[in-house]
Structure 1
Amino acid sequence: DHITRNFLEPDFLLSDPLLTFKSKGHSKERAIRSDLPLSLGEEREYVLDPVPLPPTLAQRMGLVALPPERLSEDEWTLVKARSVQQRESEQPCAICREAFCLKPQVLLSCSHVFHKACLQAFERFSGRKCCPMCRREPYETRVIHDAARLFRNHCAVRIQAFWRGYVARKWYGNIRRTVCPKDKRLRRKFLEAKLQELSDDFVRRCHTDAEAFLSDIDRSLSSSRRVFRLLERKKHVAEPREDDWRRIQSQVTQRGAGDCPICLTALCDPGATPGSSGFKLHQRGRRSVLLSCSHLFHQVCLDAFEAFVADRSPACPLCRSRYHKKLI
């Protein structure tokens, strides 16, 4: 309650509009209506209707009916109890359909509750004192503060809930940062975070020469570029000449390659004589292909391998190097 009251203007009380403060220099003078005692607080409930005039001569002689008597305090207590039972103060104003909050509210003798300003506007608009809900007329009005108390309690509860939530989240975050969880996956993440934190702290504490560090990075980049340039050169293999092909073929002959590494069947010998097995294979179309890397394959097998590989320039199935091929 004291938290919400601090936000109110010190010189103006919404709960009691009949109390006004006038500032004169450094002193404040309190002007109160003559019918209100000085010792009443801001939560005082009072009847808003003016004091009835004394009966006229005709009323005293019985010629004119006397006006209805004003409700006593006990009767107002019963009316307010009925209003509390109907939860009138917890519902919005029936005229403007807005919550009461801290705005002045009035209780009618028919136990209905409205904003004071809304009821006055309704009376000016209709031209008579008729309850907007039950159409009872006439009625008496009394200023109450039930909705203001409920609103303060609601604000205090929300403030406490937000504060407790903040404290709980802060406590839980501290627990997660300091206590290792039991779950394997969470424990692994916790230990990784701790290790990273220690590593960062160690790096911050170490004295490093920035110029030397940057020069090392430059040297590493230059060496990497040099290696990549060499690799690019190796990718582009120059086509061998006739002398190179004869030298490569002599290497194959010296090595004695007899089977195709892909299908594991016998290779045809280009120098085979008629009637031999190599000559028969040569006649059947199982011709051999010599690669520039000195490896020998069946032409059909190598064509199938190149069709299977998605690369436009496939590598040798044995040594993985780029090649040129020659049919022998």
Structure 2
Amino acid sequence: MAMRKNVKSDASNKLVIASVAFQDHIMRSLLHPDFPPPDPFLRRIRKTSRDPQEKGPQRRDGQEEREYVLDPAPPSLTLAQRLGLVASPGQRLTEDEWARVKARSVQQEESAQPCAICREEFRLQPQVLLSCSHVFHRACLQAFERFSGRKCCPMCRRDQYETRVIHDAAHLFRHQCATRIQAYWRGYITWKWYRNIRKTTCPKDKNLRRKFFEARLQELNDSFVRYCHTDTEAFLSDIDRSLSSSRRVFQQLERKSVSEPQENDWDRIKRQVIQRGVWDCPICLTALCNPSIPTQSDRSNNQQRRHTVLLSCSHLFHNLCLEAFETFAAFTAAGRPTCPLCRSAYHKKLI
């Protein structure tokens, strides 16, 4: 009888210990700081102090953002976990295991895709990496845990995951911003280069060419009006002085270039006249006396006709017409008459 009583007392003691262990485990699970229960009374019992790492390190200029584990240190084992009545939590991931998890996340391009909860881009907002290699906004994950009341991944439904703050999406966003700024700047430089080409190069299209020359003419007119002197008499006198100086320059050039042709030069000039094939006098617009350049023997037979004169500029005229033109002396170069056609000083020869 005594042994039966001892066995019953041991069984009852074990049952009491197990019930106390389960009750302690349930209470500690409900009062876990990361998972507040929906009861407002129990929310008041929640600890007001936060983990100093929850805010995360601030990024300074010239310093790289550091990754860190967001989960606090695991609490001590409950009595039920020590007795083996409830499975104890696993060991925390090491740095090598986190590196493999992050490599798997990078391979799946989790940071390049929108957040699976809010469907918005990460940009510079804080993001967390779960031990199941899924990435979410930190605020979105906290709101999901608060709404669901338990700790499970929104994608794969894995329980009791660990979280780590990463900055891959921020790096990608900064790279995209820098690329976009460079693209805009290159586009602006190209636009300036193209606009300069449009201003200086004549296009091939007919309508564009017309607009190009209209714009150039308008610019010349505007510059002429802008820089024109207000005094009309002074402006006209400036034009006269410019014309006289230009005329003197041309006269000097004509004086240097005009010389008495030799016999070989006259033969070459005659060949040019024959090659041109023009046998009308440019002054009276009538046919010349001879349809071809006559020789010295044929000149005696044509004394009654008007003589033809050959100029050193290879132009043919009636002698009387050229003499009448020279009497006006409208075009002269250094005291010498100029050709009615090309306005160059000449030497003449009767043919």
Q: TM-score, normalised by structure 1?
A: 0.49
Larger helix percent? 2
